[in-house]
């Protein structure tokens, strides 16, 4: 099985260092209030993690699909934006 | 540019097929058009299977075949209903598709969008990339009068704004023109572009020249979720992907990347991509809520086109053609208003909806209006039937000394066991109703 990291490695990105375009509004909602943690399962790029009782988000490999925002409909806890113009994923084929 | 010295006839947000169709049609007719795209180049953010339906583009650029980057002409369509180790399928292959003009082509979106955008620019529109629209500008009465972009003093004015910003349409939802998309009305698709030598693609799929094959798949590969998969042949690559409704994906534990890996390992798929090199992994949402999920399509000074309006026919996997058609119809509506000297008020823009209703866009979405609900509530179409069909085929094609009448009886009983006779009849009726 090809890991998601290996898949993402094939992609072209222009990463906006230290300026993540997606933010968690309130981490304690993720850690304590959320049952589904749907973002962790549904993110196609494995950007979301839940380890040792803590939610994690690293947007470097983000494919800008919008899924994490849409599946967090119960809590509305994802502050989702596009990366700054010109940054982010650059699909060669799409 | 960023000082508000200029005013445009129309600002088009987004340079996908919907925005390009609108901008092209307007610019060609002499309108002063500004098109804004957040990607480094048009296509750099966009994902599709991708099948291009010639008809929609032909109505905009009749001679597109002379210069558009087309991969292969689809001459064979396969439909596979899958179980873990098998599939039951149909194939339609016709040499008639080889006769010009072609009807369906495989394309690579990043290349296609770039080409389309060049045509838009040649037609006279001003296209600016790496510019994200962050808000709409309104006058005191609430009419949309322009956009704000992510630059200093980034206010730009126009008589009308066409929102072609795709499925997420943050601009429209943040301006309160539509609600944000719901998990039950959208599918997440992931895909890989897998490269193989041209000769290998042709040998594996029995192709010559620019002929191409597309395979649509459903069944156990979506693990009970409402979803489908696809395999399309390009010149020297294969596009392989799978998409499922987000409401279903939320309620289970397999990640989209794993789902795609499992599809790649299916014994019917694996040999077709064996030895290939994955050079890209992409993901994108598809609005699949259909007719009942459509937002308001127009208002004071604004129009929604393409995915931002939710124009996708999930059953036939048609989106880009509806995007192009709605983009063209939006443009033609504005040209009509211009000729008559009418402003872009909601009352006048109602003509856009009338045009849509008279076209493939709303006619088809209306026809299939009950499909999304049927698939959400009637799980047997996704799990029981694929399993039963494959079981039946296995029974029928295994020569084991059992006579055929007994085999047919066993097949019938298997269906009866999983679905009562009334259930079977009801299913047939529901499927029929959903497509009326
Ligand atoms: C995996 C997959 C397979 C598919 N297969 C098929 C198929 O085989 N055939 C088919 O016809 N359809 C298919 N579709 C559907 C089709 O891709 C879409 O319906 C089509 O791309 C919609 O076009 P659009 O122009 O409305 O949106 P998009 O193509 O998404 O274009 C929107 C554009 O707007 C830009 N943008 C967004 N926000 C902003 C902003 N704020 N400021 C500036 N620019 C912005 C984006 O960067 C993008 O370029 C498929 C979709 C997917 C995901
Ligand atoms: S679904 Fe929303 S609330 Fe739950 S973990 Fe993810 S981001 Fe947090
Ligand atoms: S937008 Fe898509 S790829 Fe990016 S973090 Fe959210 S779910 Fe993952």
**Which of B111, B183, B264 is opposite residue A70, by nearest beta carbon?**
B183
Nearest atom of ligand 3 to the alpha carbon of A63: 3
CB contact under 8 A, A93 and B40: no
Q: Which residues contact B122 (CB under 8 A, 6 or more apart)?
A: none
Q: Distance of CA B279 to CAs A8, B24, B192, B198, B250, Å?
A: 9, 32, 7, 15, 28
Q: How far is the CA of B130 from the centre of ligand 2 (A)?
A: 30
- Give me the pLDDT at residue B430, please: 66
- Using a CB-CB cut-off of 8 Å, the residues of chain B touching A42 are 188, 246, 249-250, 255-256
Nearest atom of ligand 3 to the alpha carbon of A46: 8
Nearest atom of ligand 3 to the alpha carbon of A22: 5
User: What are B250-309's pLDDT values in tens digits?
Assistant: 999 999 999 999 999 999 999 999 999 999 999 999 999 999 999 999 999 999 999 999
Report the range of poorest mean pLDDT among B17-31, B82-96, B173-187, B317-331.
Answer: B82-96
**Which of B109, B264, B283 is opposite residue A63, by nearest beta carbon?**
B283
Band (pLDDT 50/70/90 cuts) for residue B196 is: very high
- Give me the pLDDT at residue B383, please: 72
- Give me the pLDDT at residue B110, please: 97
Per DSSP bridges, beta strands B237-245 and B227-233 are antiparallel
Band (pLDDT 50/70/90 cuts) for residue B235 is: very high
- Give me the pLDDT at residue A51, please: 95
B152: distance to nearest CA of chain A, Å?
13
Reply yes or no: is the peptide bond before residue B89 cis, omega within 30 of 0. Answer: no
Q: What is the ipTM of this complex?
A: 0.97
**Mean predicted confidence (pLDDT) in B45-65:** 97
Instruction: Map out the domains of chain A as residue ranges.
Output: 11-90
Question: What does pTM read for this prediction?
Answer: 0.93
Give the residue among B17, B7, B72, B1 at the shortest CA–CA distance from B321.
B17
SS3 B148: strand
H or E element: which one contains B263?
helix B256-265
CB contact under 8 A, B253 and A41: yes
Q: What CATH architecture is A11-90? A: 2-Layer Sandwich (3.30)
Chain mean pLDDT for chain B: 92
**Which of A2, A8, A84 is opposite residue B261, by nearest beta carbon?**
A2
**Mean predicted confidence (pLDDT) in A41-53:** 97
Q: Which of B150, B241, B256 to mutate to test the interface with A (most CBs of A within 10 A)?
A: B256
- Give me the pLDDT at residue B2, please: 47
User: For residues B166 and B13, what is the distance between their CA atoms, to the nearest angstrom?
Assistant: 9
User: For residues B275 and A59, what is the distance between their CA atoms, to the nearest angstrom?
Assistant: 31
pLDDT at B218 exceeding the cut of 80: yes
Q: Is B14 in the pocket of ligand 1 (CB under 6 A)?
A: yes
- Give me the pLDDT at residue B407, please: 80
């Amino acid at each position: 099985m090809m890991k998601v990291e290996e898949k993402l490695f094939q992609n072209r990105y222009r990463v906006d260092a230290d300026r993540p375009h997606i933010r968690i509004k309130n981490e304690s909602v993720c850690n304590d209030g959320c049952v589904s943690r749907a973002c962790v399962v549904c993110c196609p790029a494995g950007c979301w993690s839940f380890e040792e009782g803590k939610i994690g988000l690293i947007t470097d490999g983000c494919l800008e699909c919008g899924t994490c925002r849409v599946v967090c409909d119960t809590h509305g806890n994802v502050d989702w934006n596009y990366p700054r113009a010109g940054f982010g994923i650059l699909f060669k084929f799409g | 540019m960023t000082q508000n010295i200029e005013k445009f006839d129309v600002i088009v947000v987004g340079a996908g097929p919907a925005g390009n169709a609108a901008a092209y049609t307007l610019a060609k007719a002499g309108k002063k058009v500004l098109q804004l795209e957040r990607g480094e180049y048009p296509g750099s953010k966009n994902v599709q299977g991708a099948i291009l339906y010639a008809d929609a583009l032909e109505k905009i650029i009749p001679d597109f075949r002379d210069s558009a980057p087309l991969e292969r002409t689809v001459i064979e369509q396969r439909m596979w209903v899958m179980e873990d180790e098998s599939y039951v399928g149909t194939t339609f292959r016709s040499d008639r598709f080889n006769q010009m003009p072609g009807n369906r082509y495989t394309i690579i979106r990043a290349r296609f969008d770039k080409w389309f955008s060049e045509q838009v620019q040649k037609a006279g529109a001003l296209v600016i990339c790496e510019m994200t629209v962050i808000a709409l500008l309104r006058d005191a009465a609430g009419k949309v009068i322009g956009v704000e972009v992510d630059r200093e003093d980034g206010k730009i004015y126009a008589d009308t704004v066409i929102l072609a910003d795709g499925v997420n349409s943050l601009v429209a939802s943040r301006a309160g023109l539509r609600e944000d998309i719901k998990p039950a009305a959208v599918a997440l698709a992931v895909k890989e572009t897998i490269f193989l030598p041209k000769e290998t693609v042709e040998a594996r799929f029995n192709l010559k020249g620019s002929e191409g094959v597309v395979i649509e798949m459903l069944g156990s590969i979506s693990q009970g979720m409402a979803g489908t998969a696809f395999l399309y042949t390009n010149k020297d690559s294969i596009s392989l992907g799978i998409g499922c409704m987000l409401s279903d994906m939320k309620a289970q534990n397999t990640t989209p990347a794993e789902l795609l890996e499992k599809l790649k390992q299916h014994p019917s798929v694996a040999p077709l991509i064996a030895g290939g090199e994955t050079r890209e992994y992409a993901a994108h949402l598809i609005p699949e809520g259909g007719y009942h999920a459509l937002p308001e399509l127009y208002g004071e000074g604004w129009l929604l086109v393409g995915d931002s309006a939710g124009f996708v026919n999930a059953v036939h996997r048609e989106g880009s053609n509806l995007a192009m058609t709605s983009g063209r119809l939006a443009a033609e509506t504005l040209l009509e208003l211009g000729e008559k000297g009418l402003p872009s008020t909601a009352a006048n823009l109602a003509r856009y909806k009338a045009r849509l209703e008279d076209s493939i866009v709303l006619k088809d979405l209306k026809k299939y209006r009950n499909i999304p609900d049927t698939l959400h509530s009637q799980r047997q179409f996704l799990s029981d039937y694929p399993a039963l069909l494959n079981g039946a085929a296995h029974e029928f094609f295994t020569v084991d000394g059992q006579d055929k009448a007994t085999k047919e009886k066993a097949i019938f009983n298997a269906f009866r066991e999983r679905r009562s006779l009334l259930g079977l009849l009801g299913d047939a009726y529901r499927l029929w109703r959903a497509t009326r």
